[in-house]
Structures are given as C-alpha cells and as structure tokens.
C-alpha cells in the first residue's frame, strides 16, 4: 500500500513538471528569471548567481542556434543542466575506460563471464522496446555522483530479473557503489569516481547477490561516498547472478541479437555532448575522437519515418532530461565501420599497463563496451 502511494505521488509530481516544462519551440523570450522559476533554482551568493546566469545565457544561445539548423535530426532544450559548468557536468559521467580495460583483461574477472553466441535462427525484428514488455523500471536520477555505472548495472539486472521471474523490482545502486572496490587503483577508487558494469557484476557475484532498493537505498545523490553496509541478514540479497556476458567489442550483430532476443544491455558511451538533448535522433558526438565516459542502458531500437533508424537508450539523469529520460542515437547499416580513436583511455591516474589509445565504433562509441547479467537458476 505504501509503495503504491509513493508511485502515485511520484507520477503526479513528474506529470506537473512535464506539463509546465518549456520545450525547444517555446524559447523565444525565455530568460534566466523564467529558468530559475521553472527549475526551482536557488544560489548561495550574488557571485554564484552571476556565474550561473552567464553559463545559462551562453548555453541558451547555443541551443537556439542549433535548433535553427533544419539539417539536424534532434532538438536541444533547456533542462536542469543548463546552468552547470563543464566541470560539474563531467561529474555526472563517472565511467573510466582504464577500469574497463582492466576488467576485460584481468583473469580475476574472466572467471565470472559466459561466452555469447548469436542466435542465428532467430530473425531480427524491425522494432524492439523492452518497456513494452514491462521489464524496465522507471527512469532514475544519479544526482551529482558519478555513479552511472551502478545505475546501468542495477537497471539491467532489474530487467533480466523480471524476464527470469516475472517480478519487476528496484535494486540497490548504493550497494554496488559502496561495496565494489577497485583493487588495482586504476583511474580512481570506484564509488562516485567511476567504474564499469562488468566490475559491478563480478562483485555482485562475489557478494552473493544484489539487495532491493528498499533495504539498501540510494544515499549518494549529492556526491558523497559511504562505507559498505551490505549484510546478508539486514540487506538480504535478492537478485543472484550466475555470471555475466561481455559482448564482443565494436561488433554490431552480437549487440542487436542480444537486445532483440535476450534483454536490455548495459552499455558505455561518449555522453559529453548529450546534456542539452531534448528530442529526436541524436548524432552529435565526436566520431573521430570519441571519449567513452558514461554508462547507460540499451533497451531497444527502431526507425522513425522522418528521422531514420535509432538505438533506444535509457539514461540516469531523471525523466526531466531528454525524451522522458531517454535518448535515441543514430543507428546505421554500417555501424561497426563508424569507428574513431579514443585518445584518453587512461583518464585519471591511469593503469600502468593500459593502452595509450583504443578504437571505439558506433554512434557515440555505443558498440565498444556492452554486457548483461546471467541470472542464477
């Protein structure tokens, strides 16, 4: 009963927010004062107010200029990020390519993986949206912590748990955040400093499972890290993994096959140019030198009669961002040939044995690092 009430209240709050939200075509005459009122912005000093106003006005000019270009297949708009500095926006990403490298190459984690095999006899549909099958939970908000990797992991486990059991539950991002160490001290220390879905799933197997959101709730919204409080008696693990599948890197067919026939996937992308996205099919990443920096969930794909083919991707920046928390990324018939070179695969302190550059393929590097859990029987 209490959970139903919470769901209803949440729905009402977001319904009100969406009803009054300014869209891209309503920006003529839009001002900083209107922005502050719409997004309930408050600043601690006159200096901060001046800084935020300057950032906002610069971004608003860029948004209007973009939307005047009729060749673009997506629209930009104002949102909760329009007054944030570049440094603040980077804190929302929290994916470290150097950890991904260690995850893929370290044998300690290889023992938790299961090989992937394309289901050759199963035809690929023209449209896939796992939301329509009731296995995708509501869009979440990671806040000011670089915990995207924990959200992508928990969300994907939620989907596969539902496919496996028929019950849709919210699982604990905080357990992953608090209890997944980075023993190689590679590119940070985990937590709000970043990680990967593979690292998280291997750790969940070690712990014996993942707790529900209700018993181990999210507390790092404002960017703080906490000690691990996982306890098999008090925070009883519910979702138990047998292993996880790390799909072949930079290959289109395995990813399309997996998301078509198995379920949603945890993916890694270059999201550095996503912050102003509002709607449409996005193709605005740097394809020459993409910088993989964010973990999200792939829930399907499809085609728009006017805008073309797309991947359907769920983000963790709240339903107020993008298309109710989702973004459509450009999908092409030659996706795995659309490759670029990531020049900074060792962000942060780096790994001593990590590569100096990595090749990533697909729109925003979507084919580079893809995985999903195998639920215990």
What is the reported pLDDT for 8? 33
Tokens of 264: 């949603």
Rounded Cα distance between 259 and 89, Å, is 29
Q: Distance between CA 287 and CA 52 in Å, rounded?
A: 30
Of 145, 148, 186, 351, catalytic: 148
Q: Cα–Cα distance between 326 and 312 in angstroms, integer?
A: 7
Which stretch of DSSP H or E encloses residue 203?
Answer: helix 197-207
pLDDT, greater one: 2 or 284: 284
Contacts 24+ apart (CB under 8 A), 34-39: 35/78, 35/82, 35/83, 38/78, 39/78, 39/79, 39/80
Average pLDDT score over residue span 148-161:
97
Q: 186 catalytic, yes or no?
A: no
14: β partners: none
pLDDT of residue 10: 35
The pTM of the full predicted model, rounded to 2 decimals, is 0.90
**Confidence check: pLDDT of 225 > 90:** yes
* Alpha carbon distance 255, 116 (integer Å): 10
Share of the chain above pLDDT 70, in %: 85
Q: Which residues, other chains included, contact 174 with Cβ-Cβ below 8 Å and sequence gap of 6+?
A: 150, 216, 217, 218, 219, 220, 226
- Domain layout of the chain by residue ranges: 2-88, 90-375
pLDDT at 148 over 80: yes
> Which has the minimum average pLDDT: 26-40, 83-97, 226-240?
83-97
The pLDDT, as a whole number, for residue 16 is: 41
Is residue 299 scored above 70 in pLDDT? yes
315 flagged as catalytic: yes
pLDDT in tens, 315-354: 999 999 999 999 999 999 888 899 999 887 554 223 445 6
The H or E element spanning position 250 is none
Given 315, 351, 361, 364, the catalytic residue: 315
Q: Is the dihedral of CA 317, 243, 365, 94 positive or negative?
A: positive
342 vs 137, residue with greater confidence: 137
Q: What is the mean pLDDT of residues 103-119?
A: 68
Choice among 145, 179, 182, 294 that is catalytic: 294
- How many angstroms separate the CA atoms of 80 and 341, rounded? 31
Q: Please provide the CATH number assigned to the domain covering 2-88.
A: 1.10.287.2250
pLDDT of residue 4: 30
Higher per-residue pLDDT: 105 or 67: 67
Question: What backbone torsions phi and psi does residue 321 show, to the nearest 5 degrees?
Answer: -100, 145
For the residues 74-92, what does the mean pLDDT come to? 93
Closest to 212 (Cα-Cα) out of 186, 246, 179, 235: 235
Close Cβ partners of 264 (under 8 Å, ≥ 6 residues apart): 130, 135, 136, 155, 156, 159, 160, 297, 298, 299, 300, 314, 372
The predicted structure's pLDDT at residue 3: 31
pLDDT at 215: 96
| 94 vs 274 pLDDT, higher one | 274
Taking the CA atoms of residue 42, residue 45, residue 51 and residue 52 in that order, the dihedral angle to the nearest 10 degrees is 0
pLDDT tens digits, 167-189? 999 999 999 999 998 666 443 46
Q: What are 39-73's pLDDT values in tens digits?
A: 999 999 999 999 999 999 999 999 999 999 999 99
| Percent of the chain predicted with pLDDT > 90 | 71
Architecture of domain 90-375: Alpha-Beta Complex (3.90)
- CB distance 176 to 154 below 8 Å: yes
User: Tens of pLDDT along 231-253?
Assistant: 988 999 999 999 999 999 999 99
Please spell the DSSP secondary structure of 276-296, one letter per residue.
TEEEEEE--S-SSS----EEE
- Give the model's pLDDT for residue 110: 64
Structure confidence at residue 9 as a pLDDT band (50, 70, 90): very low
Which pLDDT score, from 0 to 100, does residue 336 have?
A: 86
Place 20 in a pLDDT band, splitting at 50, 70 and 90: low
* pLDDT score for 97: 62
Sign of CA dihedral 90, 92, 98, 104: negative
Are 203 and 176 spatial neighbours (Cβ–Cβ below 8 Å)? Answer: yes
Average pLDDT score over the chain? 87
Closest CA to 265 of 283, 246, 279: 246
Is 25 considered catalytic here?
no
């Amino acid at each position: 009963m209490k959970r139903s009430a919470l769901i209803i209240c949440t729905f009402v709050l977001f319904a009100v927010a969406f009803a009054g939200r300014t869209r891209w075509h309503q920006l003529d005459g839009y001002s900083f004062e209107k922005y502050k009122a719409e997004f309930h912005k408050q600043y601690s000093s006159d200096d901060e107010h001046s800084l935020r106003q300057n950032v906002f006005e610069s971004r608003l000019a860029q948004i209007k200029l973009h939307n005047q270009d009729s060749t673009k297949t997506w629209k930009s708009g104002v949102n909760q990020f329009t007054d944030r500095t570049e440094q603040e926006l980077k804190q929302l990403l929290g994916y470290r390519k150097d950890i991904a490298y260690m995850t893929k190459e370290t044998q300690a984690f290889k023992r938790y993986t299961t090989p992937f095999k394309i289901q050759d006899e199963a035809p690929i549909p023209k449209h896939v949206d796992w939301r329509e099958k009731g296995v995708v939970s509501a869009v979440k908000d990671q806040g000011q912590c670089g915990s995207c990797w924990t959200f992508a992991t928990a969300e994907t486990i939620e989907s596969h748990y539902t496919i496996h059991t028929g019950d849709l539950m919210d699982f604990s991002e905080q357990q992953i955040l608090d209890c997944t160490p980075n023993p190689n001290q590679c590119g940070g220390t985990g937590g709000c400093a970043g990680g990967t879905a593979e690292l998280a799933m291997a750790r969940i197997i070690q712990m014996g499972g993942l707790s529900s959101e209700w018993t181990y709730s999210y507390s790092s919204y404002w960017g703080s890290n906490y000690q691990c409080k996982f306890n098999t008696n008090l925070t009883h693990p519910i979702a138990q993994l047998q292993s996880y599948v790390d799909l072949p890197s930079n290959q289109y067919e395995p990813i399309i096959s997996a998301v078509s026939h198995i379920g949603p996937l945890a993916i890694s992308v270059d999201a550095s140019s996503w912050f102003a996205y509002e709607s449409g099919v996005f193709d605005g990443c740097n394809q020459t030198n993409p910088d993989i920096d964010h973990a999200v969930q792939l829930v399907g794909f499809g085609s728009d009669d006017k805008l073309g083919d797309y991947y359907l991707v769920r983000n963790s920046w709240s339903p107020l961002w993008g298309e109710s928390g989702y973004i459509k990324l450009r999908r092409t018939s030659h996706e795995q040939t659309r490759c670029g070179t990531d020049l900074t695969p060792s962000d942060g302190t780096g790994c001593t044995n990590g590569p100096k550059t990595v090749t990533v393929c697909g729109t925003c590097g979507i084919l580079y690092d893809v995985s999903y859990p195998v639920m215990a029987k």
